[in-house]
Amino acid sequence: MTLSALRGHIVWADAITPLGDTWAATWEALLRGDCASEPWRAASPGYDTVARVAAIPELERGIDEHGNGAGHRLGRRLMDRIGAAGHGACAVFGAANHGDSDLVVALAASLDDPGADVDPALWYGLLADRVPQAFQPLLAGWNSSACSSGLHAVVDALMALRFGAAPFAIAASVDALSPIGVAGFARAGACGSAQSKPFALDRDGLTIGEAAAAVCIGADSAAALAAILGVGMSCDAWHPTEPDPSGDGLAQAILRALEDAGLELGHVAAIVAHGTATKKNDAVEAAVIARLWPARPPAVTSLKHSLGHPMGAAGLINLIAAAQASHSGFLPPVAAHDYAAEPGIDLVNGAARAIGRGAPVLAMASGFGGNNVAALVASETR
């Protein structure tokens, strides 16, 4: 897919994560190499497991009387931020990996009791996903392309700008922890036994997280955090959950983003990788980076040791981090401690690394089904 001339400027960004209630707090924690995780019991009908997760403190769980769960409530908090920042009239292009699947757990529990009346809100929730409704009345589009969803929302917003729909557009993504999601990843063997270690030789799985993030993208560069120089997309469709071991689809997305930006591989100073800490994802991603940059690979980081894997919001948070890294001139470490990494990549761990202000930084995201999205950003402070 060619995305020629998709350009925009990030004029505002915010996020709610396990590391902080604002993007500023999250960024400071990322630079320190902080991490937020805890054991969490995921109880679903017929299955009960404990997995390590990164949870947003004090986020209310469960389904309320209107059929709203934690995902909807997190989305509403994000909408409040969008309005408070003065972007309450902008079209929102939203994304998520899953909806409020706690609703299914609550419904199943209600049906277990033959004498109990089932709350009508639970039945309604099966017909209409409540998470997208958190962004009404501004919602202009919604996608769910697994863990690449957040970066897909950025492409949607850029396309709206290109075709003159509005001078500004919002890309937003939200996913909250759910028992079904945690149990599903645990049963698939994707969850690690301890805090995740992206690209480590001894990694054994991911830490599931949750987050909400949004960026306002405009055509005007005034007071912009960074410019989106180019984007690339691909879908290798290799397997429902596993990446194509050749990495060709991911490489294609990266090269298309560079072509869109009119830059060469050597211009990329740093990469905020998908880096889930699963055996197969990290091996493929590291091999692609080593193949494209055989002599002098860019500095590479992943946020998922610190934040956990925030599912659909992961790619959008990677984009914000890439923009902030270019703006500040510092790339956060994977972790506050060093560990042996996959060969062929220059992994930043132990401490943040200076990359130079205004340097182009690549943000990446991949998702089930073979989805790959890459976006190249650079601050305009240089």
Question: Running DSSP on this structure, what letter comes out for residue 311?
Answer: G
Query: pLDDT tens-digit profile of 282-333?
Result: 999 999 999 999 999 999 999 999 999 999 999 999 999 999 999 999 999 9
**CATH at residue 279:** 3.40.47.10
Name the pairing type of β-strands 353-354 and 211-218: unpaired
Judge whether 4 lies within some domain. no
Q: Please report the DSSP string for 355-366 in residue order.
A: --TT--EEEEEE
Q: Residue 356 — left, alpha, or beta (φ > 0 → left; ψ -120 to 50 → alpha)?
A: left
Q: How many residues does the chain have?
A: 382
Mean pLDDT confidence for 213-237? 89
Judge whether 2 lies within some domain. no
Print the domain residue range for 28: 9-378
pLDDT tier at 1 (50, 70, 90 boundaries)? very low
Query: pLDDT tens-digit profile of 333-365?
Result: 999 999 999 999 999 999 999 999 999 999 999
Judge whether 138 lies within some domain. yes
Core vs surface per residue 83-120: b (16+ CB within 10 A) or e: eebebeebbbbbbbbbbbbbbbbbbeeeeeeeeeeebe
Judge whether 129 lies within some domain. yes
Span of 4-18, 114-128, 247-261 with lowest mean pLDDT: 114-128
* Higher-confidence position of 59 and 380: 59
pLDDT tier at 41 (50, 70, 90 boundaries)? low
Q: Is the pLDDT of residue 281 over 70?
A: yes
Mean pLDDT confidence for 188-210? 90
pTM: 0.93
Judge whether 314 lies within some domain. yes
Catalytic residues: 147, 274, 309
Q: Is the pLDDT of residue 63 over 70?
A: yes
Q: Which of 90-94, 159-163, 190-194 has the highest mean pLDDT?
A: 90-94
Tally of CB atoms within 10 A around 207: 29
Judge whether 72 lies within some domain. yes
Contacts of residue 257, defined as CB under 8 A and 6 or more positions apart, other chains included, come to 230, 231, 232, 362, 374, 375, 376
Judge whether 324 lies within some domain. yes
* CB neighbour class for 161 (10 Å; exposed up to 12, middle 13-18, buried from 19): buried
Q: Assess contact for 265 and 318: CB atoms under 8 A.
A: no
> What is the total count of domains within the chain?
1
Judge whether 143 lies within some domain. yes
* CB neighbour class for 259 (10 Å; exposed up to 12, middle 13-18, buried from 19): middle
Q: Is the pLDDT of residue 178 over 90?
A: no
Question: Running DSSP on this structure, what letter comes out for residue 314?
Answer: H
